[in-house]
């Protein structure tokens, strides 16, 4: 493979500054939504005492999980030595940091008291999975930042592989910690499963790679750079494997719950009688986010279509958000099993499925976090050399 030449994008066009301005407006709307919710109280949202993690958490957890998966391309290049992925490693690491930043901004603004983050960062309760995740998130920024330094500084390039290996291990640990937030919640019938940790890892591979492909295609299309078919073919095939793996883990997870008698109630709720959650599971998560992308990826007549690949990535992202909605909100909506084997009813909504409808401020806060991630990527591409001049087949594919 030829020596890779990187440059920053010029970023002097009206379209570029218009994009930054548009993202800035979305971020401002997200801040205004935060102010509205905090000033008036969370009663103006769809969240209640039963549903304490709402739509902002769906966006936040999706971005955090996708951040780990976005680093996959860089990991394949440095840890597993696949040369065709090496030119894209810088962009992969940048996107990982940006997505994590966008997700954490949402969490910070949805806390109710963002200033209490200082307490979470200085006083640790190591019996709390949330305390562990504070360490994992900050460590991810540090390690991936160092990884980018190793890739961009020729004097430090010899340390790229060991730092890349550390980033690989850390991101797997981070996603395991994120999945364990739910897996360790024994009070919720829809959670309390060790399988959630590896399922979140494979979900991160799928969601992160889908976002990476869209960002890669947009960056090269808008800057007039050449993006070869060999690179996209590799990424397309890898994406298909990850989508299939997500479906496999979902099947195993629900079959495991169906085997356990005490989980039959929550499985009936998610799979059959849960209303919007059942619809999102079968239509959003399984069909739109899984089966249709798989069919489009491996359809013989569509394998060379870049528009179809972009559509596949968009469907996977939508399906991922639907999956997070079902896991996070659907898991809370199902009533707590306080007395297993008994029917419980009281004036405190015991034994009742909780109602939740997303409010506009919640959605705008979540979309604002996405805008933060995209703004960071667009700005960084202008000020630093993250993009190769060309990813044509003869430049990127060692076998071309």
Query: Domains of the chain, with CATH numbers?
Result: 6-396 (1.20.1630.10)
- Specify whether the CB–CB gap between 345 and 351 falls below 8 A: yes
Neighbours of 145 (CB within 10 A): 12
SS3 state of residue 391: strand
Closest CA to 265 of 329, 170, 342, 189: 189
pTM confidence score: 0.94
* Cα dihedral 160, 162, 166, 168 sign: positive
Give how far the C-alpha of residue 330 lies from the chain's centroid of Cα atoms, to the nearest Å: 18
Block residue for tokens 């909100």? 329
Question: How confident is the prediction along the chain (400 residues), in pLDDT tens digits per residue?
Answer: 567 888 999 888 999 999 999 999 999 999 999 999 988 888 899 898 888 899 999 999 999 999 999 999 999 998 888 888 999 999 999 999 999 999 999 988 887 677 777 777 777 777 777 778 888 999 999 999 999 999 998 888 889 999 999 999 999 999 999 998 888 887 788 888 889 999 999 999 999 999 999 999 999 999 999 998 999 999 999 999 999 999 999 999 999 999 988 888 899 999 998 899 999 999 999 999 999 999 999 998 888 899 999 999 999 999 999 999 999 999 999 887 766 666 777 666 667 888 999 999 999 999 999 999 999 999 999 999 999 998 887 766 666 5
H or E element: which one contains 387? strand 387-388
């Amino acid at each position: 493979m030829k020596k890779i030449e990187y440059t920053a994008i010029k970023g002097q066009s009206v379209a570029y500054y218009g994009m930054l301005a548009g993202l800035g407006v979305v971020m401002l709307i997200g801040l205004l939504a935060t102010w509205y919710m905090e000033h008036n109280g969370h009663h103006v949202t769809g969240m209640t005492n039963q549903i304490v993690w709402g739509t902002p958490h769906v966006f936040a957890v999706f971005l955090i999980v996708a951040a780990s998966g976005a680093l996959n391309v860089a990991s394949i290049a440095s840890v597993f030595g696949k040369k065709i992925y090496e030119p894209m490693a810088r962009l992969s690491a940048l996107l990982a940091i940006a997505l994590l930043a966008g997700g954490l901004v949402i969490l910070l603004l949805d806390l109710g008291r963002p200033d209490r983050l200082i307490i979470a960062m200085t006083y640790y309760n190591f019996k709390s999975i949330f305390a562990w995740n504070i360490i994992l998130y900050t460590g991810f920024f540090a390690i991936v930042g160092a990884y980018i330094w190793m890739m961009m500084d020729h004097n430090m390039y010899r340390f790229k592989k060991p730092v890349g290996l550390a980033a690989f291990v850390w991101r797997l640990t981070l996603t395991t910690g994120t999945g364990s937030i739910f897996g360790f919640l024994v009070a919720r019938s829809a959670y309390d499963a060790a399988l959630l940790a590896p399922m979140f890892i494979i979900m991160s591979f799928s969601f992160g790679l889908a976002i990476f492909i869209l960002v890669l295609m947009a960056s090269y299309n808008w800057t007039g750079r050449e993006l070869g078919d060999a690179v996209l073919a590799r990424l397309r095939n890898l994406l298909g494997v990850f989508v299939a793996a997500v479906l496999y883990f979902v099947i195993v997870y629900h079959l495991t719950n169906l085997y356990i008698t005490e989980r039959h109630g929550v499985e009936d709720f998610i799979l059959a009688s849960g209303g919007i959650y059942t619809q999102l599971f079968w239509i959003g998560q399984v069909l739109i986010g899984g089966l249709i992308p798989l069919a489009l990826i491996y359809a013989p007549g569509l394998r060379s279509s870049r528009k179809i690949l972009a559509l596949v990535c968009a469907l996977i992202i939508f399906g991922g958000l639907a999956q997070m909605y079902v896991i996070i909100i659907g898991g809370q909506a199902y009533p707590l099993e306080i007395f297993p084997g008994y029917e419980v009813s009281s004036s405190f909504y015991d034994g009742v499925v909780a109602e939740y409808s997303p409010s506009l401020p919640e959605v705008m806060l979540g979309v604002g976090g996405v805008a933060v991630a995209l703004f960071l990527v667009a700005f960084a591409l202008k000020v630093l050399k993250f993009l190769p001049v060309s990813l044509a087949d003869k430049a990127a594919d060692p076998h071309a």
